[in-house]
Chains A and B, each alone.
Chain A
């Protein structure tokens, strides 16, 4: 196995282009190393991105934030400005694994792993985050909502990598929230999850909304009908009922020992509703 640790993005792209055989990117390694140790994969080439300076930073960009592909979830939790603007995204990132794992794992890695149950992804989708992709043909951007194609599958082309994820500028009176349901109180994989991002207009009326669900379909998904249920409301019971119904309708989960289809569908509506209430409060709304 060949291990390469480039210091520039261009070198990383070059390394990916030159690599023969199976090539894997290494950031925190919390997915990759586990799969290697378990004997599930045997990479020919590992490209470690942690020495690329631009990928190790959280930057203010275009009024929003750019979170580099090698930034750990713990570093996100230590960034007060990011936490203030996107508390839901940060709380999702900080639900992944244990403290030790959070010192290594990254949201870009979480996204690239493309698990339907990835904790940070619904929050990024609700935030309308963009993935910044570098490849042989230069830079391109894609909405995180469209990034995953199926379990373990992304829209990355050969020789491409995700340099960063960008969170947009936050208008005043905005808030987001992420909730998940697990069989334990901590350190587990979501059976169902929900993220909501809201911006309020005059008198606490919801002006903009995005709702995303995790672990209820092959990829985490945006649920426009759920968002629509909230827009124009002050989160009255009728709006919340519509939201819950839209969440349930969007679910196409699996049936397994961790949760039945009916249970996952029901809990998706419950979590959607609860996340909406938290986001609304964070946006300054009064119920």
Chain B
């Protein structure tokens, strides 16, 4: 038995083993598809085979006559039943002339037109999956195909077919930030200009568990069990806006979630159809997406291209930063997808650098592709990729070492709090110190010897760096936590934060233990039920700094309340009651009472607290990631051989979980740099509809990571001093790896003009094309 106190063993700062894992490893998790209610019916979708077409006629008669078919729905059926489109982009976003953003209505099932291949057109409800699949085949749909648009360049051509009938062009929305005239002046005086044309390709988030929805009615209430990061958001969007129901007539329940990465943050058209079908048929109705349905119709991530340029003085200081990009947001635009590209990315575009002038111009362009939305990083990977690729280009243009040119431009610790040109205020950060630690850990100056060694094995070695920060939050800082001490020895904690595999329950338990001082076995964290807790949910790396902070506040309030109750029991003044390790004690005496004993003595045998609190602002985690790669010049194959990263995520609640987030995130970033790519052909047909062709990274694509955490710079905006960590690894890895590949190619003697044309993912085939010369 250890002599250490309970908080020292289980509290924050300790690598406590995850409380979630045992159940998952034993196969007793509770994912949506684990629930098989009696009489459950299966729902399957008939999806559009064309990227752009008018619906002429739908004949569902043959399908309806098949034995075992319960119902067949078309978009017109749903419309007639009063189902409305999902909220669109027109409310929050504008075009250049100030008119509302332009996009087709997001009907849950297509009405009049289909806008991307894979769009749900009809839904079949049947007794079994086999009958549902057969009935989908029997639905006859007559299409008039239209010219389809598969990329933003052809979307903006003057003669392009209009995706929204009658509109003047295919622009959805746009935004400008900064001071164009000041930027022009800076560029005209610049000693150097660094300029790049970059593509950030389309990606598929690819959670292990596909979207899964089960809905049923109980009396006049609709219950939906699904795999989601935002149960309350799903309920609120579904209720009044789509189904025309009061929110209190809908209960959303979420069990275990097999990964989300942002793509499970809102209501999908399919979710609304399943909910409607349950209400309409009175059956429990389930839809489990196939992997191909996920690749076709779940939101995609990234897909933005354009130019970025620095005006630099003779010493390599950035005088102005100009960005002009077009984001391909698909046709049935997801408002989050636009926010990510037009606003969230720009917030961090100047990153850790003290850049006085910006001129940013972002456009969201309609195409006949699936909508883009949140995907791990959501806007920050796009912004940091531009900035960090450009910083390396600036180093080449000026002849200054890449680490040195970054250092010269960095915001210093003494400038904190620092307000960036997008009016975002960083509370803390010591970027030069993080850079120095990483340079030492990576043996930056010993690179030449390693390069020589690689050359001896006929390999081209290169190194790349990304020094950066990101924003976390979701702009929703308030959280409600209920906490109950039960007489049977458990403390129940209920929150609206929604784990998707990150280990949130473990971390929240650790934060509670810091205050309560009881063993981790005595804490039960619950979530995922809109009848019990509502809030923003988990997205934007917000869970620990908002939810964890709220758990701490609730625990403190619980002990305050309990001290008063204990004082009554112990017949002393509240001020004389001390608390520690689960025991109340009259100060200076041996008279004690246990927390659970106290609960047992209460009229309803429990002590509870209902606490709502808010943190002050976002967090700004940051890091420096240095990667080394080897290229096989005969095949173009790239291997990551070293990945060193030092990160400032403030105080750390669970180091193993945090390192796992960083390294797992880095694998996702490496996937983007080297192999992942959602590809559509010119007709708007998806070419990467399975994992055969959509190449997810595997453990062996990475290497042994060296990951360090600098905990000396706590966040000042929340009581835990923590900074979000869920997306940091992904954001840093893509530019670090890409910079290393570019460095290896240029050092190896590849043609600089060809290298400049190369766009991620840097597949062997593409790298080899550059080398072929």
Q: Contacting B693 at CB < 8 Å: which of A181, A187, A257?
A: A257
Q: Taking A257-B687, A270-B634 as contacts, is the C-beta distance between A263 and B698 under 8 angstroms? A: no
Q: Taking A257-B679, A263-B768 as contacts, is the C-beta distance between A181 and B635 under 8 angstroms? A: yes
- Complex contacts, B675 vs chain A, CB 8 Å: 183-184
Query: Does chain A have a CB within 8 A of B340?
Result: no
Q: Contacting A184 at CB < 8 Å: which of B634, B679, B687, B698?
A: B698
A51 to B136, CA, bound (A): 39
Inter-subunit contact A185/B764 (CB<8 Å): no
* CB closest residue in chain A, given B702: A185
For A, the interface residue count at a CB cutoff of 8 angstroms equals 17
> Least Cβ distance of B702 to chain A in Å?
10
Interface string of B618-639 (1 = CB under 8 A from A): 0000000000000000111100
Query: Does chain B have a CB within 8 A of A42?
Result: no
Inter-subunit contact A262/B693 (CB<8 Å): no
Query: Does chain B have a CB within 8 A of A97?
Result: no
Inter-subunit contact B635/A267 (CB<8 Å): yes
- Complex contacts, B697 vs chain A, CB 8 Å: 184
Inter-subunit contact B695/A184 (CB<8 Å): yes
Which residues 115-173 in A have Cβ within 8 Å of B in the complex?
none
A263 to B763, CA, bound (A): 12
- Complex contacts, A181 vs chain B, CB 8 Å: 635, 637, 764
A247 to B332, CA, bound (A): 49
Query: Does chain A have a CB within 8 A of B419?
Result: no
A247 to B167, CA, bound (A): 56
Interface string of A253-269 (1 = CB under 8 A from B): 00001111011001100
Majority secondary structure of chain B interface residues (helix, strand, loop or mixed): loop
Q: Contacting B772 at CB < 8 Å: which of A188, A257, A262, A270?
A: A262
Inter-subunit contact B764/A266 (CB<8 Å): no
A186 to B702, CA, bound (A): 13
* CB closest residue in chain A, given B692: A189
Q: Taking A257-B687, A270-B634, A270-B635 as contacts, is the C-beta distance between A185 and B700 under 8 angstroms? A: yes
Interface string of B686-728 (1 = CB under 8 A from A): 0110001101011011000000000000000000000000000
> Least Cβ distance of A99 to chain B in Å?
14
Query: Does chain A have a CB within 8 A of B765?
Result: yes
A181 to B635, CA, bound (A): 9
Inter-subunit contact B765/A260 (CB<8 Å): yes
Inter-subunit contact A187/B698 (CB<8 Å): yes
Inter-subunit contact A184/B701 (CB<8 Å): yes
* CB closest residue in chain B, given A259: B765
Query: Does chain A have a CB within 8 A of B36?
Result: no
Query: Does chain A have a CB within 8 A of B452?
Result: no
Query: Does chain A have a CB within 8 A of B769?
Result: yes
- Complex contacts, A185 vs chain B, CB 8 Å: 698, 700-701
- Complex contacts, A267 vs chain B, CB 8 Å: 634-635, 768
A184 to B639, CA, bound (A): 10
A258 to B687, CA, bound (A): 11
Inter-subunit contact A183/B695 (CB<8 Å): yes
- Complex contacts, B695 vs chain A, CB 8 Å: 183-184, 188
* CB closest residue in chain B, given A269: B634
Q: Taking A257-B693, A267-B635, A270-B635 as contacts, is the C-beta distance between A183 and B764 under 8 angstroms? A: yes
Task: Report which residue of B634, B687, B688, B697 has the largest number of chain A beta carbons within 10 angstroms of its beta carbon.
Answer: B634
Which residues 722-773 in B have Cβ within 8 Å of A in the complex?
763-765, 768-769, 772
* CB closest residue in chain A, given B679: A257
A89 to B764, CA, bound (A): 26
A187 to B675, CA, bound (A): 15
- Complex contacts, B636 vs chain A, CB 8 Å: 263
> Least Cβ distance of A108 to chain B in Å?
24
> Least Cβ distance of A287 to chain B in Å?
14
* CB closest residue in chain A, given B693: A257
Which residues 235-287 in A have Cβ within 8 Å of B in the complex?
257-260, 262-263, 266-267, 270
Inter-subunit contact A186/B772 (CB<8 Å): no
A259 to B698, CA, bound (A): 20
Interface string of B415-441 (1 = CB under 8 A from A): 000000000000000000000000000
A263 to B688, CA, bound (A): 20
Task: Report which residue of A185, A189, A259, A262 has the largest number of chain B beta carbons within 10 angstroms of its beta carbon.
Answer: A185
Q: Contacting A266 at CB < 8 Å: which of B637, B688, B692, B768?
A: B768
Task: Report which residue of A181, A186, A258, A263 has the largest number of chain B beta carbons within 10 angstroms of its beta carbon.
Answer: A263
17 A–B contact pairs at CB < 8 A?
A: A183-B675, A183-B695, A184-B675, A184-B700, A184-B701, A187-B698, A188-B695, A189-B692, A257-B688, A257-B693, A258-B693, A259-B765, A262-B772, A263-B764, A263-B765, A263-B769, A266-B768
- Assuming A183-B764, A260-B765, A267-B768, what are 14 further A-B pairs, CB within 8 angstroms? A181-B637, A183-B675, A184-B697, A184-B701, A185-B700, A185-B701, A186-B700, A257-B679, A257-B693, A259-B765, A263-B636, A263-B769, A267-B634, A267-B635
Sorted from nearest, which 6 A-B pairs have the closest CB atoms?
A185-B700, A270-B634, A263-B765, A183-B695, A267-B635, A259-B765
